Amino acid sequence: MGALTRAAVTNFAEVRNAFVAFVETDWSHSALESVPRLLAEVAGAMRMLERPEPADYLEALRRYSQVELIERAQVPGGRQLDTLADALSSMEYFLETLHDPHGQRQDLLDKTRSSLEALRYWPLPEAAPVVDKAPADLPAPAEEFAEPVPEAVADGTAVEAQGEIVAEEEPVAAPAEVAVSVAPAAVAMAAGFESAGDEIDDEIREIFLEEFEDEINNLDGLLPTWKLTPDDGDTLRPIRRVFHTLKGSGRLVGAKVLGEFAWHVENMLNRVLDGSRPASHAVVAYVGQARGVLPQLHAALRGEGAVTTDIPAMEAIADRLAAGEDVLMSAPPIAQAAQPEPAQAGTADEPAAAADTRVVAVDPVLLEILGTEVGGHLETVDAWLAQARTGDTVASDALVRAIHTLNGAFAMTEVPSVTAFTAPAEGYVKRLLAAHAVAGSEGVAALGAVAEAVRASTRALQESPTQVPMFAALAERMAALRDALPEANLPFIDTGSVGDADAARHAQQAEAERVAAEQAEAERLAAEEAARLEAERIAAAEAEAARVAAEQAEAERLAAEEAARLEAERIAAAEAEAARVAAEQAEAERLAAEEAARL
């Protein structure tokens, strides 16, 4: 790639960054001041390279930016912004492939042209077109600009057809009233690249896949901060931008499944940013689930596997969240790779809906420790569930320890609404392990519901007031599964053996001792963690006080220096003025004396 081409790519990257800043600063038009100049420079470079077609498109982009956005200070609507993003993305990809003389790039220019036509800036007018307050949402000139709306959402039947997703009647429910739901399994999706007319160059797609992976890593760095302060728009905007990038780039290169999925997520996040709906824990949970789906889509685009998550069901949930409802999915719905067998009664992973809520008071230190503990142990449960869903799997020691620790943690923090179902869940997996029995589809579904109910309860504990949902049906479900198995401390063979009975008693005593030891260790760790957090808080407060004092002292020093400088300048100026006046007076007297002598 020559120096001229590299300069064009660099300048266009600055254009893209300026538009990103324009969006993230809530439409501050000052962010676009450099855009017309940069686009003119890139257009000039294209003409020097004897490429008049992209040069003309760049000139159209320059005029649109100058006239519509800067001079008329318009704020583009959602569809208009998408169309502009498509034009910029296709042009940027075109510029990045200029080093390849054999690359098929005409399709990129065609996309740029069609986007400019939608913006009414192509054909290139002789002068700026007269548009009376260009509409915020231009009519889509072609199907590629139409945003898909699932029929189930459009006609009001909503998601019942997609997954019997239960939501409260209130448009925006309190965290405790959030419904927890699971969509039915669907056929696995290929979700690879799709051809749209001229084939996209493989190099373009490889660049896109690298960008896709970078965006996933970027998201991993952004999500933890946002989850701590979900109402902070500044931390949410970069997350929205990730899905915006995936939407535009995905559509451009033929990754249509990814592009449409990212659009649904972005649209929902836009509603949060414009204040149409709050950033509830249902929204936070959904974004985390959306992040979990991205590696599947990336692998599908690389041809390394199919997407096992039910993407249409997740898109429908995003639409309901965007509409103001609060809906939780107990897990991203898993699509079946083969045709599913007829479901047996009572074996489906039924929603663990919360019938009512309870107000609880949890010590803040214990709550923070709980949040840390829960995440790690849920990962263990999720890993077992993922393995169990692929075939018959017996319970493992790791699964028993994870659920046992979760149950103990919530018991220690005194949240009985959770231990109501974690206690029978612990008993169930212990009996499974002792019996070397397979959980079966019903057991796997129930444990999946337990994991998501724990997540929902943990999120609810972060809200104020702290109202946790009650999962009475789930507790009964787990108790029934547990009671269907023999007790874990009963021998399974030779039940009349005295030796086995003694062994069972010893095992029971050892288990009680282990539980007591774990409880004591948990309390010790809680105390240590509380002491550490308090020490960190004190150190942070002292550091902040020192910083404020240092800044104040520095400000006072600078103010004193500035005052002294101004006073010195004033005195010097006064002395200079006095000297000038005296000199002028002396000169006038001298001239008067000379004139008198002459006369």
Q: What would the two tokens of residue 327 be?
A: 């809906």
Of 241, 237, 213, 209, the closest CA to residue 225 belongs to 237
Count of CB atoms within 10 A of residue 312's CB?
Answer: 22
Residue with tokens 């007829």: 342
Helix (H, G, I), strand (E, B) or coil at 259: helix
Q: What would the two tokens of residue 481 be?
A: 């599964």
Do residues 92 and 54 make contact, with C-beta atoms less than 8 angstroms apart?
Answer: no
Count of CB atoms within 10 A of residue 396's CB?
Answer: 17
The DSSP bridge partners found for residue 253 are none
Do residues 414 and 360 make contact, with C-beta atoms less than 8 angstroms apart?
Answer: yes
Residue with tokens 């018991």: 411
Residue 34 has pLDDT above 90, yes or no: yes
Do residues 348 and 370 make contact, with C-beta atoms less than 8 angstroms apart?
Answer: no
- Max mean pLDDT range (144-153, 360-369, 383-392): 383-392
Residue 367 has pLDDT above 80, yes or no: no
Q: Quick one: pLDDT at residue 421?
A: 92
In whole angstroms, what is the distance from residue 128 CA to residue 69 CA? 12
What length is written for the chain? 599
In whole angstroms, what is the distance from residue 5 CA to residue 42 CA? 9
In whole angstroms, what is the distance from residue 307 CA to residue 248 CA? 20
Q: Quick one: pLDDT at residue 36?
A: 94
Of 310, 320, 273, 290, the closest CA to residue 165 belongs to 320
What angle (nearest 5°) sits at the alpha carbon of residue 162, between those of residues 187 and 325? 135
DSSP 140: P
Helix (H, G, I), strand (E, B) or coil at 309: strand
Count of CB atoms within 10 A of residue 480's CB?
Answer: 14
Mean pLDDT check: name the lowest of 69-73, 298-302, 519-523, 535-539. 519-523
* CATH assignment, 159-340: 1.20.120.160
Q: How does the average pLDDT of the chain come out, rounded? A: 77
Does the CA dihedral 65-66-68-69 come out positive or negative?
positive
Helix (H, G, I), strand (E, B) or coil at 307: strand
Amino acid at 328: L
Q: Who contacts 362 (Cβ-Cβ below 8 Å, separation ≥6)?
A: 370, 413, 414, 415, 461, 466
Using one digit for the tens of pLDDT, what is the confidence trace for 109-134?
888 999 999 898 998 765 444 343 33
The DSSP bridge partners found for residue 189 are 307
Q: How far is CA 117 from CA 22, 60, 111, 114, in A?
A: 22, 10, 10, 5
Do residues 185 and 340 make contact, with C-beta atoms less than 8 angstroms apart?
Answer: yes
Helix, strand, coil share (%) of the chain residues, nearest 5: 65, 5, 30
Q: Quick one: pLDDT at residue 271?
A: 92
Do residues 248 and 83 make contact, with C-beta atoms less than 8 angstroms apart?
Answer: no
Pairing of the two strands 357-359 and 467-469: antiparallel
Instruction: Provide, rounded to the nearest whole percent, the portion of the chain with pLDDT above 70.
Output: 74
Q: Quick one: pLDDT at residue 149?
A: 36
The DSSP bridge partners found for residue 357 are 469
In whole angstroms, what is the distance from residue 57 CA to residue 54 CA? 5
285-310: average pLDDT: 85
Q: Quick one: pLDDT at residue 144?
A: 35
Of 167, 77, 176, 83, the closest CA to residue 122 belongs to 83
Q: Who contacts 138 (Cβ-Cβ below 8 Å, separation ≥6)?
A: 77, 79, 80, 83, 118, 119, 120
Q: Quick one: pLDDT at residue 414?
A: 77
Quickly state the pLDDT bin for 199 (edges 50, 70, 90).
Answer: low
171-198: average pLDDT: 49
401-409: average pLDDT: 87
Q: What would the two tokens of residue 89 be?
A: 């993305």
Q: Quick one: pLDDT at residue 514?
A: 72
Residue 416 has pLDDT above 90, yes or no: no
Do residues 182 and 351 make contact, with C-beta atoms less than 8 angstroms apart?
Answer: yes
In the chain, how many H helices and how many E strands? 18, 4
Of 212 and 101, the structure prediction assigns the larger pLDDT to: 212
In whole angstroms, what is the distance from residue 487 CA to residue 151 CA? 49
Q: In what helix (H) or strand (E) does residue 153 lie, and over which residues does it extend?
A: helix 151-154
Using one digit for the tens of pLDDT, what is the confidence trace for 53-92?
999 999 999 999 999 999 988 888 777 888 898 899 889 8
Using one digit for the tens of pLDDT, what is the confidence trace for 44-53?
888 888 889 9
Q: Quick one: pLDDT at residue 65?
A: 94
Quickly state the pLDDT bin for 498 (edges 50, 70, 90).
Answer: very low
Does the CA dihedral 258-281-238-318 come out positive or negative?
positive
Q: Quick one: pLDDT at residue 169?
A: 32
In whole angstroms, what is the distance from residue 446 CA to residue 238 CA? 36
Of 315, 337, 191, the closest CA to residue 257 belongs to 191
138-144: average pLDDT: 36
pTM, rounded to two decimals: 0.37
User: Can you list the pairs that 561-570 forms with residues at least 24 positions away whose Cβ atoms lie under 8 Å?
Assistant: none
Do residues 389 and 334 make contact, with C-beta atoms less than 8 angstroms apart?
Answer: yes
In whole angstroms, what is the distance from residue 86 CA to residue 112 CA? 7
Quickly state the pLDDT bin for 392 (edges 50, 70, 90).
Answer: low
Do residues 243 and 219 make contact, with C-beta atoms less than 8 angstroms apart?
Answer: no
**What are the domain boundaries of the chain?**
3-127, 159-340, 346-488
Using one digit for the tens of pLDDT, what is the confidence trace for 207-224?
889 889 999 999 988 988
Q: Quick one: pLDDT at residue 480?
A: 87
Of 523, 526, 518, 427, the closest CA to residue 479 belongs to 427
Q: Quick one: pLDDT at residue 20?
A: 85
Helix (H, G, I), strand (E, B) or coil at 399: helix
Q: Quick one: pLDDT at residue 156?
A: 34
CATH class, domain 346-488, is: mainly alpha
DSSP 484: T
Mean pLDDT check: name the lowest of 147-151, 221-225, 278-282, 424-428. 147-151
562-585: average pLDDT: 92
Of 339 and 108, the structure prediction assigns the larger pLDDT to: 108
90-113: average pLDDT: 79
Of 379 and 462, the structure prediction assigns the larger pLDDT to: 379
Question: Is the fold of 159-340 the same as that of 346-488?
Answer: yes
Mean pLDDT check: name the lowest of 12-16, 233-237, 503-507. 503-507
Mean pLDDT check: name the lowest of 189-193, 528-532, 589-593. 189-193
Amino acid at 511: E
Architecture of domain 3-127: Up-down Bundle (1.20)
Do residues 70 and 29 make contact, with C-beta atoms less than 8 angstroms apart?
Answer: yes
3-state secondary structure 86-101: HHHHHHHHHHHCCCCC
Do residues 239 and 287 make contact, with C-beta atoms less than 8 angstroms apart?
Answer: yes
Residue 472 has pLDDT above 70, yes or no: yes
DSSP 172: S
Pairing of the two strands 357-359 and 179-181: unpaired
3-state secondary structure 329-392: ECCCCECECCCCCCCCCCCCCCCCCCCCEEECCCCHHHHHHHHHHHHHHHHHHHHHHHHHHCCC
